[in-house]
Amino acid sequence: MDKKGLSVMQPVLVAKKLSKKYGKVVALDSADLELYPGEVLGVIGDNGAGKSTLIKVLCGAVIPDSGEILLDGKNVTFTSPIEARKLGIETVYQNLALSPALSITDNMFLGREIRQKGFMGSFLKFLDKKAMADEARKRLSDLGLLTIQNINQLVETLSGGQRQGVAVARATSFGTKVVIMDEPTAALGVKESRRVLELIGEVRSRGIPIILISHNMPHVFEVADRIHIHRLGTRLCVIDPKKHEMSDAVAYMTGAKQPPQN
Amino acid sequence: MNKVSDDISKDLKDQPKFTTDIGEKDQDHHSFDLGEQTTLKKIQHFLHGNPTIVPVIILILSVIAFGFIAGGKFFSAFNLSLIVQQVTIVGILAAAQTLIILTAGIDLSVAAMMVLASVFMGKLSVEMGVPTLPAIAVGFISGIATGAFNGLLVTRLRLPPFIVTLGTWNIFFALVIFFTGSQSIRSSDIEVNAPLLHFWGERINLGGFVFTYGAFLMIGIFVFLWFLLNKTAWGRHVYAIGDDKEAAELSGIRTDRMLVSIYAVAGLVVAIGAWVSIGRVGSVSPTSFYEGNLDSITAVVIGGTSLFGGRGTIIGSLFGALIVGVFSSGLSIAGLDVLWQRFALGCLIIVAVGIDQWIRKVSA
């Protein structure tokens, strides 16, 4: 995605001058962020740079002291992750927020179950298990996750990468506008990490933009279209991974080198 | 700095490409794991997927064992139906207890709640001249209210269910003593003034097997709760909360509201138990079912439901209650002292929890 294209397109998600203080500690100091349609935006920053606070504000877990968030150009406010989700901002948490003792289908539809039609559903509130299983299977195969044989398998029997896949499938299934992924490869081995990176590409190709927070530089540089570097509570710069080296990014992040002026 | 970045680039280059370097087959970690299992591991996996199997096996084995030890007397239609009659009340309490334990909670107050509800039913209809059905309705409301009270304390004050229900157990018990003045309501008075209260104690004879209506109601409650837990979103949410409350919350479940409703439903089940208990015992005694709290927990635990929440089946608790009934009956027919019944029950609880812990390790 070249610069010219970006300036024409309207961003899906914009954060303007977000600030958040915890007592005397300034976690966010008038931070900005833009996410454009169909892109993967990597967010990196040193420990304590405030990137996790930024993400928590965007997913609704933390309420900012000031600043505004625009989704599709409209000003939005939310006070919990559930409200953010209703607006179309889905988060894949580092711990995935899955219930291990429930099945893949149950997890994908947790809190958004499909009921049977007619009397059985409206009065007896019976679930339409078949419709949910079919839908879950479709979602997973859309994301190329057909290695999972049984859709009613319990989540705890899945490998780490497969669990990540279920969480991503859930996050991209319900009219989602933005997916935030927090350290998706942190707990995974090499093979599984590769699978998750492919998954991120898969989601992007379906037009859903992703904010990817990660400590893993090679992973960020591999999948991100743009990289937002966070430093001292605010956005330091946004770089193009194709034009910058990883070592440059680390240098900007730590303050060892001045960022490019753009 | 540059050296680090070179290392990183090298690492990146060395990482295998998932689809090309690694064959299709290796991608399937789950089936790969299954290939190297020992028999013991397979059993562990099987039990993990079918937790109700354990109580079923224990029930069958104990019936066979007591058949040998206690002889034909144990297998008589009279004795077998007596066992079912005896476990009716503990069974209903265990059904309510299962709901709570599935949420990773525990309810020490169920029996006190039940006695309180039965006191309302008896007091109003026998001594205060209220028609029986409204009196029963008040008992039901008492059950729902006391259950919801527990739920509110657990969710609003964020206190552990163990402590909340330890407190309310004493409070409810004190209320029972307050309302009754430690006086029982006699069976003969109930028979005259409110015979409907004895309804579930009525017996029918099916080819030598004598069942109370209450026993059928108990089965009905279990079937109803099974549907609720397995076929409705409410039921799925019970499991999700017990499994990982935070994950459930992030999935959009209003966990606090759910918990209050779960405690209230348990309270309603307990109140139904109160009506059945009047039929079973005949009178309303403020000091009855003092051990009902712990007996219900015993039945649930033996029935394979995990005290850590999220795992277990409602039907397992029915088997758990029956196992307790079979043990008590078999051991007493075999002529063993009551102390050995308790001893055996204690061993059974420890074995059941041990098996649960072992099964839970399956994914670790």
A232, with CB counted inside 10 A (0-12, 13-18, 19+), is middle
pLDDT at residue A25 greater than cutoff 70: yes
The domain total for chain A is 2
Alpha helix segments (H runs only) across chain B: 2-14, 18-21, 29-34, 39-49, 53-70, 72-75, 77-102, 110-122, 132-156, 161-180, 187-193, 213-231, 233-243, 245-250, 255-281, 292-302, 314-333, 338-360
Query: What confidence tier does A110 reach under pLDDT thresholds 50, 70, 90?
Result: confident
Mean pLDDT over all residues of chain A? 86
Query: What confidence tier does B8 reach under pLDDT thresholds 50, 70, 90?
Result: low
Please enumerate in sequence order all residues whose Cβ is within 8 A of that of B227, keeping only pairs 6 or more positions apart, or say none.
none
Provide DSSP, A9-57.
Answer: SPPSEEEEEEEEEETTEEEEEEEEEEE-TT-EEEEEE-TTSSHHHHHHH
Same domain? For A25 and A67 the reply is yes
- Quick: pLDDT tens for A221-249: 999 999 999 988 889 899 999 998 888 88
Same domain? For A48 and A84 the reply is yes
Q: Which two tokens stand for residue A207?
A: 């037009």
What phi-psi label fits residue B310: left (phi over 0), alpha (psi between -120 and 50 degrees) or beta? Answer: left
Q: Sort out which chain A residues have CB atoms less than 8 A from B363's CB and list them.
A: 100, 156-157
pLDDT at residue A192 greater than cutoff 50: yes
pLDDT at residue B16 greater than cutoff 50: no
- Quick: pLDDT tens for A26-53: 889 999 999 999 999 999 988 888 888 8
Cβ separation of A161 and B243 shorter than 8 Å?
A: no
A135 alpha-carbon distance from chain centroid: 22
Q: Residues, chain A, total?
A: 262
Q: Which residue has the higher pLDDT, B363 or A26?
A: A26
pLDDT score recorded for residue B1: 44
Q: Which two tokens stand for residue B46?
A: 């099987």
B196, B136 Cβ separation under 8 angstroms:
yes
Does the CB of A113 have a partner CB in chain B at under 8 Å?
A: yes
What is the nearest CA distance from A10 to chain B, expressed in angstroms? 30
pLDDT score recorded for residue A147: 63
pLDDT at residue A129 greater than cutoff 80: yes
pLDDT score recorded for residue B88: 94
Of B43-57, B219-233, B265-279, least confident by mean pLDDT is B43-57
Residue A23 inside a domain? The answer is yes
pLDDT at residue B31 greater than cutoff 50: no
Q: Sort out which chain A residues have CB atoms less than 8 A from B12's CB and list them.
A: 218, 221-222
Cβ separation of B363 and A162 shorter than 8 Å?
A: no
Residue A260 inside a domain? The answer is no
Interface of A with B in 151-180 (CB under 8 A): 153-154, 156-159, 161-162
Nearest CB to B16: which of A154, A190, A250? Answer: A190
Same domain? For A40 and A167 the reply is yes
What is the nearest CA distance from A246 to chain B, expressed in angstroms? 6
What is the nearest CA distance from A129 to chain B, expressed in angstroms? 8
pLDDT score recorded for residue B9: 52
**Pairing of β A234-239 and β A226-231:** antiparallel
What is the nearest CA distance from B229 to chain A, expressed in angstroms? 10
Nearest CB to B233: which of A97, A125, A154? Answer: A125
pLDDT score recorded for residue A6: 57
Average pLDDT over residues A205-219: 90
Place of tokens 């196992």: B323
pLDDT at residue A262 greater than cutoff 70: no
How far apart CA A247 and CA A253 sit, in angstroms, is: 10
Same domain? For A28 and A133 the reply is no
Domain span holding position A130: 104-153
End-to-end CA distance of chain B: 39
Query: What confidence tier does B265 reach under pLDDT thresholds 50, 70, 90?
Result: very high
How far apart CA B221 and CA B202 sit, in angstroms, is: 18
Query: What confidence tier does A8 reach under pLDDT thresholds 50, 70, 90?
Result: low
A contact test, residue of B25, B26, B30, B41 with most A CBs within 10 A: B30
pLDDT at residue B34 greater than cutoff 50: no
Query: What confidence tier does B24 reach under pLDDT thresholds 50, 70, 90?
Result: very low
pLDDT at residue B20 greater than cutoff 50: no
Cβ separation of A106 and B310 shorter than 8 Å?
A: no
Does the CB of B248 have a partner CB in chain A at under 8 Å?
A: yes
Task: Enter the DSSP assignment of B198.
Answer: G
pLDDT score recorded for residue B193: 87
pLDDT at residue B230 greater than cutoff 70: yes
Give the H or E element holding residue A129. helix A129-142
Q: Which two tokens stand for residue B231?
A: 């076929």
Q: Sort out which chain A residues have CB atoms less than 8 A from B360's CB and list them.
A: none
Beta bridge partners of A18: A31
Does the CB of B7 have a partner CB in chain A at under 8 Å?
A: no
Same domain? For A40 and A93 the reply is yes
pLDDT score recorded for residue B250: 84
B contact test, residue of A79, A83, A110, A257 with most B CBs within 10 A: A110
pLDDT at residue A91 greater than cutoff 80: yes
- Quick: pLDDT tens for B114-167: 999 999 999 999 989 899 999 999 999 999 999 999 999 999 999 999 999 999
Query: What confidence tier does B7 reach under pLDDT thresholds 50, 70, 90?
Result: low
pLDDT score recorded for residue A149: 65
Residue of chain B minimizing CA distance to A97: B247
Q: Sort out which chain B residues have CB atoms less than 8 A from A255's CB and list them.
A: none
pLDDT score recorded for residue B13: 52
B234, A106 Cβ separation under 8 angstroms:
no
The radius of gyration of chain B from alpha carbons, rounded to an integer in Å, stands at 25
pLDDT at residue B356 greater than cutoff 70: yes
The crossing angle, in degrees rounded to 10, of helices B213-231 and B314-333 is 150
Residue of chain B minimizing CA distance to A95: B247
pLDDT score recorded for residue B33: 44
Same domain? For A93 and A110 the reply is no
Q: Sort out which chain A residues have CB atoms less than 8 A from B261's CB and list them.
A: none
pLDDT at residue B2 greater than cutoff 80: no
Does the CB of A147 have a partner CB in chain B at under 8 Å?
A: yes
Mean pLDDT over all residues of chain B? 86
Interface of A with B in 187-226 (CB under 8 A): 190-191, 194-195, 198, 217-218, 221-222
Most confident of B30-39, B91-100, B190-199, B306-315: B91-100
Q: Which two tokens stand for residue B229?
A: 């837990």
pLDDT score recorded for residue A40: 94
Average pLDDT over residues A193-218: 89
Same domain? For A82 and A108 the reply is no
Same domain? For A218 and A205 the reply is yes
What is the nearest CA distance from B110 to chain A, expressed in angstroms? 27
Does the CB of B51 have a partner CB in chain A at under 8 Å?
A: no
Please work out, in degrees rounded to the nearest 5, the angle formed at the alpha carbon of residue A180 by the alpha carbons of A191 and A147. 35
Residue A261 inside a domain? The answer is no
Nearest CB to A251: which of B1, B233, B236? Answer: B1
Chains A and B form CB pairs within 8 A to the count of 119
Nearest CB to B8: which of A113, A125, A217? Answer: A217
Q: Which residue has the higher pLDDT, B207 or B61?
A: B61
- The fold adopted by the segment(s) B49-363 is ABC transporter involved in vitamin B12 uptake, BtuC (1.10.3470)
Of B5-9, B225-229, B323-327, least confident by mean pLDDT is B5-9
Q: What is the dihedral of CA B210, B61, B310, A123, to 10 degrees?
A: -30
pLDDT at residue B192 greater than cutoff 90: no
Beta bridge partners of A33: A15
pLDDT at residue B352 greater than cutoff 60: yes
pLDDT at residue A60 greater than cutoff 90: no
Interface of A with B in 6-35 (CB under 8 A): none
Same domain? For A35 and A86 the reply is yes
Interface of A with B in 24-83 (CB under 8 A): 81-82
Most confident of A81-95, B181-195, B224-238, B329-343: B224-238
Place of tokens 């399956």: B362
Residue A262 inside a domain? The answer is no
Does the CB of A100 have a partner CB in chain B at under 8 Å?
A: yes
